[in-house]
Protein backbone atom coordinates (compact mmCIF):
# COMPACT_ATOMS: atom_id res chain seq x y z
CA UNK A 1 0.00 0.00 0.00
CA UNK A 2 2.82 2.41 0.82
CA UNK A 3 4.16 2.19 -2.76
CA UNK A 4 0.88 3.49 -4.17
CA UNK A 5 0.68 6.20 -1.53
CA UNK A 6 4.27 7.35 -2.16
CA UNK A 7 3.79 7.37 -5.91
CA UNK A 8 0.71 9.59 -5.71
CA UNK A 9 2.27 11.80 -3.04
CA UNK A 10 5.31 12.47 -5.21
CA UNK A 11 3.13 13.21 -8.22
CA UNK A 12 1.31 15.85 -6.22
CA UNK A 13 4.48 17.25 -4.62
CA UNK A 14 6.15 17.87 -7.97
CA UNK A 15 3.46 20.42 -8.79
CA UNK A 16 4.12 23.90 -7.41
CA UNK A 17 0.48 24.44 -6.54
CA UNK A 18 0.80 27.82 -4.82
CA UNK A 19 -1.99 30.37 -4.54
CA UNK A 20 -0.72 32.46 -7.49
CA UNK A 21 -0.47 29.57 -9.95
CA UNK A 22 -3.98 28.67 -11.09
CA UNK A 23 -2.63 26.30 -13.73
CA UNK A 24 -0.67 24.30 -11.16
CA UNK A 25 -3.63 24.19 -8.79
CA UNK A 26 -5.80 22.80 -11.58
CA UNK A 27 -3.08 20.28 -12.47
CA UNK A 28 -3.05 18.99 -8.88
CA UNK A 29 -6.84 18.57 -8.95
CA UNK A 30 -6.52 16.80 -12.31
CA UNK A 31 -4.27 14.18 -10.70
CA UNK A 32 -6.95 13.52 -8.09
CA UNK A 33 -9.67 13.37 -10.76
CA UNK A 34 -7.63 10.97 -12.90
CA UNK A 35 -7.18 8.66 -9.92
CA UNK A 36 -10.92 8.51 -9.19
CA UNK A 37 -12.55 9.17 -12.58
CA UNK A 38 -14.92 6.38 -13.56
CA UNK A 39 -15.07 5.00 -10.04
CA UNK A 40 -17.21 7.62 -8.31
CA UNK A 41 -19.27 10.73 -9.08
CA UNK A 42 -17.08 13.84 -9.06
CA UNK A 43 -18.65 17.25 -8.53
CA UNK A 44 -16.60 20.29 -9.51
CA UNK A 45 -17.00 23.64 -7.77
CA UNK A 46 -15.59 27.07 -8.55
CA UNK A 47 -15.80 30.33 -6.61
CA UNK A 48 -13.87 33.49 -7.47
CA UNK A 49 -11.78 31.42 -9.88
CA UNK A 50 -10.85 28.94 -7.12
CA UNK A 51 -11.63 25.31 -7.96
CA UNK A 52 -12.47 22.40 -5.66
CA UNK A 53 -13.85 18.88 -5.86
CA UNK A 54 -16.37 16.74 -4.02
CA UNK A 55 -16.20 13.00 -4.70
CA UNK A 56 -18.82 10.71 -3.15
CA UNK A 57 -20.03 7.14 -3.11
CA UNK A 58 -23.75 7.82 -3.52
CA UNK A 59 -25.69 7.06 -6.70
CA UNK A 60 -28.18 9.84 -5.96
CA UNK A 61 -27.29 13.48 -5.45
CA UNK A 62 -27.05 14.45 -1.78
CA UNK A 63 -25.47 17.23 0.24
CA UNK A 64 -25.43 15.41 3.57
CA UNK A 65 -22.82 12.77 4.34
CA UNK A 66 -22.11 10.70 7.38
CA UNK A 67 -18.35 11.20 7.04
CA UNK A 68 -16.43 13.76 4.98
CA UNK A 69 -12.69 13.43 4.42
CA UNK A 70 -11.26 16.91 3.86
CA UNK A 71 -8.01 17.51 1.98
CA UNK A 72 -6.18 20.33 0.21
CA UNK A 73 -3.59 20.33 -2.56
CA UNK A 74 -2.44 23.96 -2.35
CA UNK A 75 0.87 24.74 -0.65
CA UNK A 76 2.83 27.77 0.46
CA UNK A 77 5.69 28.97 -1.72
CA UNK A 78 8.97 27.09 -1.81
CA UNK A 79 12.25 26.84 -3.68
CA UNK A 80 12.52 24.84 -6.90
CA UNK A 81 14.42 22.15 -4.99
CA UNK A 82 11.53 21.71 -2.54
CA UNK A 83 9.26 20.56 -5.35
CA UNK A 84 11.56 17.60 -5.99
CA UNK A 85 10.57 14.98 -3.37
CA UNK A 86 13.49 13.40 -1.51
CA UNK A 87 13.40 10.12 0.45
CA UNK A 88 15.94 9.87 3.26
CA UNK A 89 16.09 7.85 6.49
CA UNK A 90 12.43 6.86 6.37
CA UNK A 91 11.23 10.39 5.67
CA UNK A 92 9.89 12.11 2.58
CA UNK A 93 11.14 15.68 2.31
CA UNK A 94 9.71 18.50 0.23
CA UNK A 95 7.08 21.20 0.05
CA UNK A 96 3.64 19.80 0.83
CA UNK A 97 4.90 16.49 2.18
CA UNK A 98 3.43 17.15 5.63
CA UNK A 99 1.01 19.92 4.70
CA UNK A 100 -0.74 18.03 3.25
CA UNK A 101 -0.14 16.20 -0.01
CA UNK A 102 0.86 12.91 1.62
CA UNK A 103 -2.33 12.86 3.69
CA UNK A 104 -4.29 13.82 0.58
CA UNK A 105 -2.76 10.87 -1.29
CA UNK A 106 -3.77 8.53 1.53
CA UNK A 107 -7.34 9.81 1.48
CA UNK A 108 -7.60 9.53 -2.31
CA UNK A 109 -6.29 5.96 -2.43
CA UNK A 110 -8.36 4.94 0.59
CA UNK A 111 -11.49 6.40 -0.98
CA UNK A 112 -10.76 4.65 -4.28
CA UNK A 113 -10.32 1.26 -2.59
CA UNK A 114 -13.00 1.48 0.08
CA UNK A 115 -15.88 3.80 -0.78
CA UNK A 116 -17.79 1.25 -2.86
CA UNK A 117 -17.78 -1.10 0.13
CA UNK A 118 -19.33 1.55 2.38
CA UNK A 119 -23.13 1.65 2.48
CA UNK A 120 -23.50 5.02 4.20
CA UNK A 121 -22.94 8.37 2.40
CA UNK A 122 -19.20 9.10 2.33
CA UNK A 123 -17.45 12.04 0.64
CA UNK A 124 -13.93 13.19 -0.15
CA UNK A 125 -13.50 16.95 -0.42
CA UNK A 126 -10.39 18.32 -2.13
CA UNK A 127 -9.81 22.08 -2.16
CA UNK A 128 -7.14 24.47 -3.43
CA UNK A 129 -7.27 27.43 -1.06
CA UNK A 130 -6.82 26.14 2.50
CA UNK A 131 -3.56 28.04 2.94
CA UNK A 132 -5.31 31.32 2.10
CA UNK A 133 -8.36 30.88 4.33
CA UNK A 134 -10.54 28.32 2.57
CA UNK A 135 -13.30 30.80 1.74
CA UNK A 136 -13.68 29.70 -1.87
CA UNK A 137 -13.09 26.01 -1.24
CA UNK A 138 -14.41 24.36 1.90
CA UNK A 139 -16.38 27.43 2.99
CA UNK A 140 -17.98 27.81 -0.43
CA UNK A 141 -19.06 24.15 -0.57
CA UNK A 142 -20.48 24.44 2.95
CA UNK A 143 -22.31 27.62 1.91
CA UNK A 144 -23.74 25.64 -1.03
CA UNK A 145 -25.25 23.19 1.46
CA UNK A 146 -22.58 20.55 2.10
CA UNK A 147 -22.96 18.94 5.52
CA UNK A 148 -21.37 16.07 7.38
CA UNK A 149 -22.07 14.29 10.66
CA UNK A 150 -18.30 14.15 11.19
CA UNK A 151 -15.41 15.63 9.21
CA UNK A 152 -11.76 14.57 9.27
CA UNK A 153 -9.05 16.77 7.84
CA UNK A 154 -5.44 15.64 7.44
CA UNK A 155 -4.26 19.22 7.70
CA UNK A 156 -3.40 19.68 11.34
CA UNK A 157 0.10 18.60 12.36
CA UNK A 158 -1.41 15.95 14.62
CA UNK A 159 1.24 13.21 14.27
CA UNK A 160 -1.43 10.48 14.49
CA UNK A 161 -2.98 12.22 17.47
CA UNK A 162 -6.43 13.84 17.27
CA UNK A 163 -6.85 17.61 17.19
CA UNK A 164 -10.22 18.24 18.82
CA UNK A 165 -9.79 21.98 19.39
CA UNK A 166 -8.06 24.89 17.73
CA UNK A 167 -7.85 28.62 18.25
CA UNK A 168 -10.14 31.03 16.52
CA UNK A 169 -8.66 33.53 14.09
CA UNK A 170 -9.35 37.24 13.65
CA UNK A 171 -7.57 39.64 11.32
CA UNK A 172 -7.87 43.31 12.25
CA UNK A 173 -6.87 46.47 10.47
CA UNK A 174 -6.19 49.53 12.66
CA UNK A 175 -6.04 52.94 10.99
CA UNK A 176 -4.98 56.23 12.50
CA UNK A 177 -5.45 59.67 10.95
CA UNK A 178 -3.32 62.74 11.64
CA UNK A 179 -2.31 65.99 9.98
CA UNK A 180 0.48 66.66 7.52
CA UNK A 181 3.31 69.01 8.36
CA UNK A 182 6.98 69.68 7.58
CA UNK A 183 9.27 67.38 9.56
CA UNK A 184 11.04 70.37 11.06
CA UNK A 185 7.80 71.88 12.43
CA UNK A 186 6.27 68.94 14.26
CA UNK A 187 3.90 71.05 16.35
CA UNK A 188 2.03 72.02 13.19
CA UNK A 189 1.14 68.43 12.44
CA UNK A 190 -0.32 65.34 14.09
CA UNK A 191 1.78 62.22 13.48
CA UNK A 192 -0.47 59.27 12.59
CA UNK A 193 2.34 56.78 13.11
CA UNK A 194 2.90 57.83 16.71
CA UNK A 195 -0.82 57.54 17.38
CA UNK A 196 -0.81 54.07 15.91
CA UNK A 197 2.31 53.20 17.91
CA UNK A 198 0.54 54.06 21.19
CA UNK A 199 -2.41 51.83 20.24
CA UNK A 200 -0.11 48.92 19.35
CA UNK A 201 1.88 49.35 22.57
CA UNK A 202 -1.34 49.21 24.60
CA UNK A 203 -2.45 46.03 22.84
CA UNK A 204 0.99 44.48 23.24
CA UNK A 205 0.65 44.80 27.02
CA UNK A 206 -2.60 42.83 26.91
CA UNK A 207 -1.41 40.29 24.35
CA UNK A 208 2.37 39.93 24.87
CA UNK A 209 4.42 37.58 22.73
CA UNK A 210 4.71 34.28 24.69
CA UNK A 211 8.25 33.18 25.50
CA UNK A 212 7.18 29.56 25.07
CA UNK A 213 4.20 27.56 23.83
CA UNK A 214 1.11 28.41 25.87
CA UNK A 215 -2.62 27.99 25.36
CA UNK A 216 -3.37 31.72 25.38
CA UNK A 217 -4.71 34.30 22.96
CA UNK A 218 -1.92 35.81 20.86
CA UNK A 219 -1.51 38.87 18.66
CA UNK A 220 0.90 39.06 15.73
CA UNK A 221 1.79 42.46 14.27
CA UNK A 222 1.95 41.49 10.60
CA UNK A 223 2.45 44.81 8.83
CA UNK A 224 2.52 48.59 9.27
CA UNK A 225 2.15 50.92 6.32
CA UNK A 226 1.83 54.63 5.58
CA UNK A 227 1.51 56.74 2.44
CA UNK A 228 4.36 58.92 3.65
CA UNK A 229 7.54 58.32 1.61
CA UNK A 230 9.66 61.22 2.83
CA UNK A 231 11.88 61.78 5.87
CA UNK A 232 10.79 65.41 6.28
CA UNK A 233 7.02 64.88 6.34
CA UNK A 234 4.74 64.23 9.29
CA UNK A 235 2.52 61.30 8.12
CA UNK A 236 -1.19 61.94 8.08
CA UNK A 237 -2.24 58.29 7.91
CA UNK A 238 -1.00 54.91 9.11
CA UNK A 239 -2.40 51.38 9.11
CA UNK A 240 -1.47 48.25 11.05
CA UNK A 241 -2.49 44.68 10.27
CA UNK A 242 -2.97 42.33 13.23
CA UNK A 243 -3.45 38.57 13.38
CA UNK A 244 -5.18 37.37 16.56
CA UNK A 245 -5.42 33.69 17.48
CA UNK A 246 -7.91 33.44 20.33
CA UNK A 247 -8.87 30.66 22.71
CA UNK A 248 -12.50 29.82 23.39
CA UNK A 249 -12.74 31.61 26.75
CA UNK A 250 -11.72 34.91 25.08
CA UNK A 251 -14.13 34.66 22.17
CA UNK A 252 -16.85 36.83 23.71
CA UNK A 253 -14.64 39.54 25.21
CA UNK A 254 -11.66 39.94 22.87
CA UNK A 255 -13.14 42.88 20.95
CA UNK A 256 -14.16 44.62 24.17
CA UNK A 257 -10.56 44.36 25.42
CA UNK A 258 -9.21 45.80 22.18
CA UNK A 259 -11.66 48.70 22.06
CA UNK A 260 -11.05 49.57 25.71
CA UNK A 261 -7.28 49.59 25.29
CA UNK A 262 -6.94 52.01 22.39
CA UNK A 263 -7.94 55.56 21.63
CA UNK A 264 -11.46 55.97 20.21
CA UNK A 265 -10.10 57.85 17.21
CA UNK A 266 -8.32 54.70 15.98
CA UNK A 267 -10.48 53.05 13.31
CA UNK A 268 -10.94 49.29 13.67
CA UNK A 269 -11.89 47.05 10.77
CA UNK A 270 -12.47 43.33 11.17
CA UNK A 271 -11.20 41.83 7.95
CA UNK A 272 -11.77 38.17 8.82
CA UNK A 273 -13.02 36.24 11.82
CA UNK A 274 -13.69 32.58 12.53
CA UNK A 275 -14.56 31.02 15.92
CA UNK A 276 -12.44 28.43 17.74
CA UNK A 277 -12.87 24.78 16.78
CA UNK A 278 -14.01 22.28 19.37
CA UNK A 279 -15.32 18.71 19.58
CA UNK A 280 -16.20 17.21 22.94
CA UNK A 281 -13.98 14.27 24.01
CA UNK A 282 -17.09 12.09 24.44
CA UNK A 283 -18.18 12.50 20.81
CA UNK A 284 -18.93 8.99 19.51
CA UNK A 285 -17.05 9.43 16.23
CA UNK A 286 -14.02 10.89 17.99
CA UNK A 287 -13.93 8.00 20.45
CA UNK A 288 -14.27 5.47 17.61
CA UNK A 289 -11.37 7.07 15.74
CA UNK A 290 -9.25 6.82 18.89
CA UNK A 291 -10.16 3.15 19.34
CA UNK A 292 -9.12 2.36 15.76
CA UNK A 293 -5.87 4.26 16.27
CA UNK A 294 -5.04 2.11 19.28
CA UNK A 295 -5.73 -1.09 17.33
CA UNK A 296 -3.33 -0.08 14.55
CA UNK A 297 -0.45 1.60 16.41
CA UNK A 298 -0.88 0.00 19.84
CA UNK A 299 -1.60 3.15 21.80
CA UNK A 300 -4.51 5.53 22.11
CA UNK A 301 -4.05 8.76 20.16
CA UNK A 302 -3.91 11.79 22.44
CA UNK A 303 -6.40 14.64 22.21
CA UNK A 304 -4.42 17.78 21.42
CA UNK A 305 -5.06 21.46 20.71
CA UNK A 306 -3.80 23.37 17.67
CA UNK A 307 -2.73 26.99 17.62
CA UNK A 308 -3.62 27.31 13.93
CA UNK A 309 -7.17 26.56 12.75
CA UNK A 310 -8.08 24.25 9.88
CA UNK A 311 -10.94 24.17 7.40
CA UNK A 312 -12.96 22.37 10.08
CA UNK A 313 -13.93 25.83 11.32
CA UNK A 314 -16.13 26.35 8.24
CA UNK A 315 -18.15 23.29 9.22
CA UNK A 316 -18.37 24.46 12.84
CA UNK A 317 -20.11 27.62 11.63
CA UNK A 318 -23.09 25.53 10.48
CA UNK A 319 -23.15 23.15 13.44
CA UNK A 320 -21.08 20.32 11.97
CA UNK A 321 -18.16 18.90 13.93
CA UNK A 322 -14.83 17.43 12.95
CA UNK A 323 -11.23 16.84 13.93
CA UNK A 324 -7.75 17.12 12.58
CA UNK A 325 -6.03 13.79 12.14
CA UNK A 326 -2.93 13.29 10.02
CA UNK A 327 0.32 11.33 9.67
CA UNK A 328 3.60 12.00 11.46
CA UNK A 329 5.91 14.73 10.25
CA UNK A 330 7.25 18.18 10.99
CA UNK A 331 8.16 21.66 9.76
CA UNK A 332 5.18 22.49 7.59
CA UNK A 333 5.87 25.73 5.69
CA UNK A 334 9.58 25.45 6.56
CA UNK A 335 12.56 24.59 4.34
CA UNK A 336 13.01 21.10 5.78
CA UNK A 337 9.36 19.96 5.76
CA UNK A 338 8.99 16.18 5.97
CA UNK A 339 6.52 13.37 6.53
CA UNK A 340 7.24 9.98 8.11
CA UNK A 341 6.80 7.32 5.41
CA UNK A 342 5.85 4.47 7.76
CA UNK A 343 3.13 6.56 9.35
CA UNK A 344 1.37 6.97 5.99
CA UNK A 345 0.45 3.30 5.96
CA UNK A 346 -0.58 3.48 9.62
CA UNK A 347 -2.70 6.51 8.79
CA UNK A 348 -4.33 4.59 5.93
CA UNK A 349 -5.24 1.60 8.09
CA UNK A 350 -6.58 3.70 10.97
CA UNK A 351 -8.90 5.56 8.61
CA UNK A 352 -9.88 2.32 6.90
CA UNK A 353 -10.79 0.64 10.18
CA UNK A 354 -12.65 3.72 11.34
CA UNK A 355 -14.79 3.94 8.21
CA UNK A 356 -15.54 0.21 8.18
CA UNK A 357 -16.39 0.21 11.90
CA UNK A 358 -19.28 2.60 11.23
CA UNK A 359 -21.01 -0.08 9.13
CA UNK A 360 -21.75 -2.02 12.30
Q: Specify the CATH number for the domain of residue 305.
A: 3.40.630.10
Instruction: Give the separation between CA 233 and CA 113, rounded to whole angstroms.
Output: 67
Indicate whether 79 and 213 sit together in one domain.
no
Is-contact 124 69, C-beta < 8 A? Answer: yes
The domain boundary, picked from 273, 297, 324, lies at 273
User: Residue 2 has what pLDDT?
Assistant: 78
Indicate whether 179 and 262 sit together in one domain.
yes
Q: Where are the alpha helices (DSSP H) in the chain?
A: 2-13, 22-36, 102-114, 138-143, 192-206, 254-261, 284-297, 312-316, 341-357
Q: Which domain holds residue 214?
A: 170-273
Instruction: Give the separation between CA 305 and CA 312, rounded to whole angstroms.
Output: 13
Indicate whether 197 and 216 sit together in one domain.
yes
Q: Can you give the pLDDT of all 360 residues of the chain as single tens digits? A: 679 999 999 999 999 999 999 999 999 999 999 999 999 999 999 999 999 999 999 988 899 999 999 999 999 999 999 999 999 999 999 999 999 999 999 999 999 999 999 999 999 999 999 999 899 999 999 999 999 999 999 987 899 999 999 999 999 999 999 999 999 999 999 999 999 999 999 999 999 999 999 999 999 999 999 999 999 999 999 999 999 999 999 999 999 999 999 999 999 999 989 889 999 999 999 999 999 999 999 999 999 999 988 999 999 999 999 999 999 999 999 999 999 999 999 999 999 999 999 986
Indicate whether 159 and 299 sit together in one domain.
yes
Indicate whether 85 and 197 sit together in one domain.
no
Is-contact 327 346, C-beta < 8 A? Answer: yes
User: Cα dihedral angle (339, 345, 349, 354), rounded to 10 degrees?
Assistant: 10
- The DSSP letter of residue 97 is I
User: Residue 265 has what pLDDT?
Assistant: 95
Provide the β-strand partners of residue 153: 70, 324
pTM, full prediction: 0.88
User: Residue 60 has what pLDDT?
Assistant: 85
Instruction: Give the separation between CA 329 and CA 276, rounded to whole angstroms.
Output: 24
User: Residue 59 has what pLDDT?
Assistant: 85
Indicate whether 15 and 67 sit together in one domain.
yes
Instruction: Give the separation between CA 318 and CA 2, rounded to whole angstroms.
Output: 36
Indicate whether 69 and 179 sit together in one domain.
no
**Residue 266 buriedness (CB in 10 A; 0-12 / 13-18 / 19+):** buried
Domain count, the chain: 2
User: Residue 157 has what pLDDT?
Assistant: 81
Is-contact 55 42, C-beta < 8 A? Answer: yes
Beta strands of 20-140 (E only): which ranges? Answer: 42-47, 50-56, 64-72, 86-88, 91-93, 122-127
The domain boundary, picked from 273, 307, 335, lies at 273
Omega of the bond leading into 100 within 30 degrees of 0 (cis): yes
Indicate whether 199 and 342 sit together in one domain.
no
User: Residue 241 has what pLDDT?
Assistant: 98
- CA-CA distances (angstroms) from residue 118 to 36, 67, 110, 244, 346? 16, 11, 12, 41, 20
Is-contact 63 95, C-beta < 8 A? Answer: no
> What are residue 268's phi and psi, to 5 degrees?
-120, 125
For the chain, count helices (H), then strands (E): 9, 19
User: Residue 184 has what pLDDT?
Assistant: 97
Convert 34-73 to b/e letters by CB count within 10 Å (16 or more is b).
ebbeeebebeebebeebbbbbbbbeeeeeeebbbbbbbbb
Is-contact 148 125, C-beta < 8 A? Answer: no
Indicate whether 70 and 133 sit together in one domain.
yes
Indicate whether 10 and 150 sit together in one domain.
yes
Indicate whether 254 and 136 sit together in one domain.
no
Indicate whether 151 and 64 sit together in one domain.
yes
User: Residue 1 has what pLDDT?
Assistant: 64
Is-contact 308 245, C-beta < 8 A? Answer: yes
The domain boundary, picked from 244, 273, 302, lies at 273
CATH number at residue 248: 3.30.70.360
Beta strands of 178-308 (E only): which ranges? Answer: 181-182, 218-225, 233-234, 237-246, 267-274, 277-278, 303-306
Amino acid sequence: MNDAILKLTKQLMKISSTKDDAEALSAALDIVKKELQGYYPIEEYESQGIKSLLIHNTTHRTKHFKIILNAHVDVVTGTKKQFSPLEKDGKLYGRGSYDMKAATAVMVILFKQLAKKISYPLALQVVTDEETGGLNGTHYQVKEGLRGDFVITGDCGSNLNIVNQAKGIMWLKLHSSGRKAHGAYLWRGDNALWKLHHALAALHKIFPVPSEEKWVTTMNLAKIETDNNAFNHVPEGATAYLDFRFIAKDEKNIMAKIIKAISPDIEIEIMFCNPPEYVAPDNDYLKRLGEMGKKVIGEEPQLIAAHAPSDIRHYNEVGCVGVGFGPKGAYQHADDEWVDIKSLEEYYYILERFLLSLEK
